[in-house]
Amino acid sequence: MSGAWIIILAYILDRCIGDPRWIPHPVIGMGKGISALESIMRARVHTDNGLKKAGIWFPILIAGGSFAVTWGLLFLLGLIHPILAAAAEIILIATTIASKGLRDAGMEVYRHLKQQDWPGARHSLGMIVGRDTAHLDEPEVVRGTVETVAENIVDAIVSPLFYALIGGAPLAMAYRAVNTLDSMVGYKNDKYLHLGWASARLDDWANWIPARVTALLLIVGAWVLKLDAKGAARMVARDARLHPSPNSGFPESAVAGALGIRLGGHNVYHGVASFRAYMGEATRPMESEDIVRTTRLMFWSAGAFVGFCFLATLGVWLAGGALLW
């Protein structure tokens, strides 16, 4: 049962303090490792086929290394005292979650909108999305914020908790490494098409189950919060697979259906226009309050999944078994 309490306390810790900037974050170390490994690979490999083969080493070394280092650290701390290892595991799992950070980022945009500070709202949105935001109007700023919060319910909350449930901090940290790899080298452009393919594919696989679990949680959350649960379920069934990502469409379509808004559409990335398939139906104009509603859905889904982690651990324990950790 100790695993369930560790997950619960890790979530509470993230919910309360997030990621203070004065505390070194493991993702920073992962990012430096990825950059260093990329430099080595590019210096030694100069063909597309060679880069494609070299790209396999990214998840092996970065994700595998993150798992091994975390496991080794907890093992050594356990030799000193089990409570020390448990405390470290709580902190480490908390660093893989970003519920408070995601909420704060979304609400910062919301506050600027409520103050009619359009430049501030565009700038805050630009800090959390890759699209150009300098000329967006209010509905487009709201859309970008809602899409980002919805999509990251999977990456920043449910997926790391899912892997923490299965394999504790080592597996949660390995997942965070996979996600960091995807954000740094998993692009389908000329620079990373060959070198980052394995990282992007592994990230898709790692989020496959959590994304669908998240959609279910959002549908139930819509019912609990008296939003449109039927609309959420309908939009997931209809639109989720239209998204270019095999996973992101599930939370985005669920949120769109729950709120009765339409996500997706035209975006501009570094001056280049791009169209993303529509998610949901526009039963009303988007408004700044949709950011608040999405945040509530996010917290309900996160809390529900933490509760599921507790019940799953309890069930395995009562059955006389144990999870992997």
Task: Pick the closest to residue 154 from 90, 72, 213 (CA basis).
Answer: 213
Q: State the sign of the Cα–Cα–Cα–Cα dihedral 9, 10, 15, 20.
A: positive
CA gap 26, 44 in Å, rounded:
27
Task: Kindly report, residue by residue over 89-105, the tens digit of the pLDDT.
Answer: 999 999 999 999 999 99
The vertex-94 CA angle with 161 and 1, nearest 5°, equals 60
CA 260, 266, 272 angle in degrees (round to 5)? 160
Q: Which pLDDT score is estimated for 160?
A: 97
Does residue 4 carry a pLDDT above 80?
A: yes
pTM reported for the whole predicted model: 0.93
Instruction: Tell me the residue ranges of DSSP E strands in the chain.
Output: 263-269, 272-279
Q: What is the pLDDT of residues 241-280, one digit of tens each?
A: 999 999 999 999 999 999 999 999 999 988 888 899 999 9
Burial class (CB in 10 A: 0-12, 13-18, 19+), 324: exposed
Taking residue 190's Cβ as centre, other Cβ atoms within 10 Å add up to 7
Q: Is the pLDDT score of 1 beyond 60?
A: no
Give the whole-angstrom CA distance, residue 302 versus residue 14: 12
Distance from C-alpha of 75 to C-alpha of 98, rounded to nearest angstrom:
25
Q: Is 50 helix (H, G, I), strand (E, B) or coil?
A: helix
- Residue 325: pLDDT band (50, 70, 90) is low
**Residue 146 — φ and ψ, nearest 5°?**
-60, -45
Q: pLDDT band for position 287 (50/70/90)?
A: very high
| Position 2 pLDDT exceeds 90 | no
- DSSP conformation class of 25: P
Q: Which amino acid, residue 29? A: G
Name the nearest CA neighbour of 200 among 221, 185, 217. Answer: 185
pLDDT tens, residue by residue, 38-51: 999 999 988 989 88
Decide if 322 contacts 2 (C-beta within 8 A): no
The answer for residues whose C-beta is within 8 angstroms of residue 318's C-beta and 6 or more apart is none
